[in-house]
């Protein structure tokens, strides 16, 4: 095993797998695609030549994604501004592998999405982890401390996972203006009214934006994309594995982002409305702190995280236990589900906390 020595101290990515009737643990969309859309997908999948490699540039899918982004943000991006990934996880891994020098650190605030740490550890890259304040917001002081360690890149998930809040725009701009490579991971931007960083990504060669289809109904097909200036996207594309986006994924992505757009947008709207309702109900329970959210989930601080996590499972509701992570003592993360699922979660909470 001596060749695997370097992996000895790595921990595998953990996810909640306890089978439960109501699954509110992975920030997926609660809505499956309609039968009509699935029917269209089947028709198109049948036409695939399964013995052939997919288009390595995914040209058609990139055009569709560019249109999708432009229609939402009133922009003018083209396929040349995009790098596609097998989920945005793959793009995170790619960036951590190619940006700057592997000997120099990457920086990110904690608590945040674990992949920045996991990928850094896999490639043996040093990390600069800096703290968010008590509201999970960035501070200039901590950013300055991180900058003093000369990282080659900063990763900001905004809205942040698992805290749900967006980061202070001016402080991200502050890092960008220092000329350090800055990744803004906008996995949850569809659930937020805050301004995206795409404009900055198209303007500066040290800024890229990451997006994913995973939180808006397509976690199964693994499709993420990076938005950057043409020159930047072109360089990063050289390091991407050639056929990382499968033929079926390309076909499904094209259909859903054209014929399925209305459906997708309705689902996003429904999740946003339910978020308001669930959070306001849970806020009524004494001794629970509900943190604000711009995402399709929210974080709550409870008297005893492990106990409540277990009690909810007994009532058939699975949420994500964050209790054991630094700065997240007794915190649980709850994804927004369908109305009926949210009702079951709310009912379970009121039963456990005896109506408040
Ligand atoms: C879920 C998530 C991702 C990963 O998404 P995939 O496209 O499914 O790999 C990236 N960043 C953040 C912040 C996430 O929460």
Distance CA 119, CA 93 (A): 5
Strands 153-157 and 181-185: parallel
pLDDT higher than 80, residue 13: no
Ligand 1 in reach of 187 Cβ (< 6 A): yes
Query: And the tokens for 140?
Result: 């200039």
Ligand 1 in reach of 29 Cβ (< 6 A): no
Ligand 1 in reach of 157 Cβ (< 6 A): yes
pTM: 0.97
pLDDT of the residue at 6: 84
More confident: 287 or 270: 270
CA 112 to ligand 1: nearest atom: 13
pLDDT of the residue at 9: 83
Ligand 1 in reach of 212 Cβ (< 6 A): yes
pLDDT higher than 70, residue 355: no
**Residue 179: partners with Cβ closer than 8 Å, 6 or more residues away:** 206
Contact by Cβ (8 Å): 166, 294: yes
Residue 354 pLDDT level (bands cut at 50, 70, 90)? confident
pLDDT of the residue at 72: 83
pLDDT higher than 90, residue 356: no
pLDDT of the residue at 14: 74
Residue 305 pLDDT level (bands cut at 50, 70, 90)? very high
Q: Determine the average pLDDT of the residues in 11-15.
A: 76
What share of the chain in percent tops pLDDT 90?
91
Query: And the tokens for 220?
Result: 């199964």
Q: Determine the average pLDDT of the residues in 73-93.
A: 96
CA 214 to ligand 1: nearest atom: 8
Distance CA 66, CA 192 (A): 20
What residues does each domain of the chain span? Answer: 2-33+261-349, 51-256
pLDDT digits (tens, 9 = 90+) for 103-116: 999 999 999 999 99
DSSP per-residue codes, 242-289: TT-S-HHHHHHHHHHTTTTHHHHHHHHHHHHHHHHHHHHHHHTSTT-E
Architecture of domain 2-33+261-349: Alpha-Beta Complex (3.90)
pLDDT higher than 70, residue 54: yes
CA-wise closest residue to 237 among 57, 64, 112:
57
* CA 197 to centroid of ligand 1, rounded, Å: 17
pLDDT of the residue at 114: 94
pLDDT higher than 80, residue 117: yes
CA 224 to ligand 1: nearest atom: 7
CATH class of 51-256: alpha beta
Q: Determine the average pLDDT of the residues in 273-299.
A: 97
Ligand 1 in reach of 89 Cβ (< 6 A): yes
Strands 82-85 and 224-227: antiparallel
pLDDT of the residue at 238: 96
Contact by Cβ (8 Å): 159, 136: no
Q: Determine the average pLDDT of the residues in 174-184.
A: 98
């Amino acid at each position: 095993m001596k060749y695997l020595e370097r992996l000895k101290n790595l921990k595998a990515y953990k996810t909640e797998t306890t089978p439960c009737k109501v699954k509110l643990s992975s920030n997926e969309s609660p809505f499956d695609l309609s039968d009509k859309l699935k029917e269209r997908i089947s028709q198109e999948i049948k036409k695939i030549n399964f013995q052939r490699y997919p288009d390595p540039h995914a040209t058609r899918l990139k055009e569709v994604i560019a249109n999708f982004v432009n229609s939402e943000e009133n922009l003018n991006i083209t396929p040349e501004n995009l790098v596609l990934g097998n989920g945005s996880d793959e793009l995170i891994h790619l960036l951590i592998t190619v940006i700057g020098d592997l000997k120099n650190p990457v920086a990110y605030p904690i608590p945040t999405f674990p992949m920045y740490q996991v990928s850094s550890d896999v490639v043996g890259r040093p990390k600069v982890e800096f703290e968010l304040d008590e509201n999970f917001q960035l501070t200039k002081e901590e950013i300055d401390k991180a900058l003093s360690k000369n990282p080659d890149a900063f990763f900001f998930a905004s809205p942040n996972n698992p805290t749900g809040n967006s980061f202070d725009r001016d402080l991200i701009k502050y890092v960008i203006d220092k000329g350090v490579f800055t990744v803004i991971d906008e996995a949850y931007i569809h659930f937020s009214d805050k301004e995206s960083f795409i404009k900055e990504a198209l303007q500066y060669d040290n800024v890229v934006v990451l997006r994913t289809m995973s939180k808006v109904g397509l976690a199964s097909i693994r499709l993420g994309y990076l938005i950057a200036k043409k020159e930047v996207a072109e360089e990063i594309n050289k390091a991407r594995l050639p056929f990382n986006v499968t033929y079926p994924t390309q076909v499904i992505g094209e259909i859903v982002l054209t014929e399925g757009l209305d459906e997708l947008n309705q689902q996003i709207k429904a999740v946003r409305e339910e978020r308001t309702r669930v959070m306001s109900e849970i806020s009524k329970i004494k001794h629970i702190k509900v943190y604000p959210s711009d995402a399709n989930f929210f974080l709550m601080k409870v008297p005893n995280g492990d106990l409540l996590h277990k009690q909810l499972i007994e009532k058939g509701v699975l949420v994500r236990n964050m209790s054991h992570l630094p700065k997240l003592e007794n915190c649980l993360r709850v994804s927004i589900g369908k109305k009926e699922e949210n009702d079951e979660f709310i009912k379970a909470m009121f039963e456990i906390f005896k109506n408040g």
